[in-house]
A = this chain, B = another copy of it.
């Protein structure tokens, strides 16, 4: 099953704001969604890594998706992450997501368990057989510790088990081979999770981009994407260079916090400063940015003109 034809462009993985006692702050969550739609994004990826998906249990995930579907109300397509270690748990999440009414599910390789590439292929097939909805393969070896090999993706795409890819592998040469290997299958939606090299990846022909940093400045990624579409590569690069400066917010708490806390924590801290969300709280055991780090985030926002 292919994705709806309207899929393309900038599809940010949506931050999940939390209250000071670690519950989802649904008021702020609504504000994030409205902020992104106002920024012109072409779709929303709910329950991705940037959404702290693996910190949420089954019930909370359903509540988050229901809220998102209600708020978006058809204004943009919704991809839903169904990320958990193994096949049948993913199927459980995917069935719930389908019942709630999202447009596609985003699925990683299994993790914690040690899995071979043929077993990874079977994993995606099992999910697809169980849930009649488009499946996006999410390649994120930094979290999953398994790379989706080129042959795995091409096999799954050609047999229709997957409708697209979100590539957060950092292997841009490999992503480029996916674009050429599947050039005769334009219905397969190939997105990059890169934040720093989007201009070059769009030059190579990527169909979409899923930037965590898009939570902070969706307009800029939309401008970058538009410049690329009209072939204005000098402008695309200019937008990218500014966004790369903004991306420094993901490093201000290192090494006091982990890289995970630093990244999404940097986004949340910027979004709090911009008045979009109420706290910069990270799900446990992650650490939130402190006041000094928040001031450094503010300085970066000021440098790129967001404050």
Mark each residue of chain A from 222 to 259: 1 if its CB lies under 8 Å from any CB of chain B, else 0: 00000000010110110011001100000000010111
User: Who on chain B is nearest to A240 by CB?
Assistant: B204
Q: A176-B196, A180-B245 are in contact. Are A58 and B57 (CB under 8 A)?
A: yes
Is the CB–CB distance between A173 and B194 below 8 Å?
A: yes
**Bound-state Cα–Cα, A204 to B172, Å:** 14
Chain A interface residue count, Cβ-Cβ cutoff 8 angstroms? 70
Q: A113-B54, A114-B143, A197-B172 are in contact. Are A204 and B237 (CB under 8 A)?
A: yes
Q: A88-B57, A200-B172, A204-B199 are in contact. Are A261 and B180 (CB under 8 A)?
A: no
Residues of chain B with a CB closer than 8 A to A110's CB: 285
User: Who on chain B is nearest to A113 by CB?
Assistant: B260
User: Who on chain B is nearest to A287 by CB?
Assistant: B119
Is A160 interfacial (CB 8 A cutoff)? no
Is the CB–CB distance between A255 and B116 below 8 Å?
A: yes
Residues of chain B with a CB closer than 8 A to A57's CB: 58, 88-89, 92
Q: A114-B258, A203-B199 are in contact. Are A22 and B119 (CB under 8 A)?
A: no
Q: Which residue of the partner chain, among B49, B58, B245, contacts A58 with CB atoms under 8 Å?
A: B58
Is the CB–CB distance between B200 and A197 below 8 Å?
A: yes
Is the CB–CB distance between B88 and A143 below 8 Å?
A: no
Is A283 interfacial (CB 8 A cutoff)? yes
Q: A112-B111, A116-B258, A237-B203 are in contact. Are A123 and B285 (CB under 8 A)?
A: yes
Is the CB–CB distance between B233 and A113 below 8 Å?
A: no
Is the CB–CB distance between B195 and A244 below 8 Å?
A: no
Chain A 143-158 residues near chain B, CB threshold 8 A: 143-145
Chain A 174-227 residues near chain B, CB threshold 8 A: 176-177, 180, 194-197, 199-201, 203-205
Residues of chain B with a CB closer than 8 A to A144's CB: 112
Is the CB–CB distance between A143 and B112 below 8 Å?
A: yes
Residues of chain B with a CB closer than 8 A to A92's CB: 57
Interface-lining segment among A25-33, A37-45, A79-87, A268-276: A79-87
> 29 A-B contacts, Cβ less than 8 Å apart?
A49-B113, A54-B85, A54-B112, A55-B85, A55-B87, A55-B88, A83-B112, A111-B112, A112-B112, A112-B144, A113-B260, A113-B286, A115-B258, A115-B285, A118-B287, A119-B258, A122-B284, A122-B287, A126-B285, A145-B145, A172-B172, A173-B196, A177-B244, A197-B204, A199-B200, A199-B204, A200-B200, A200-B203, A204-B240
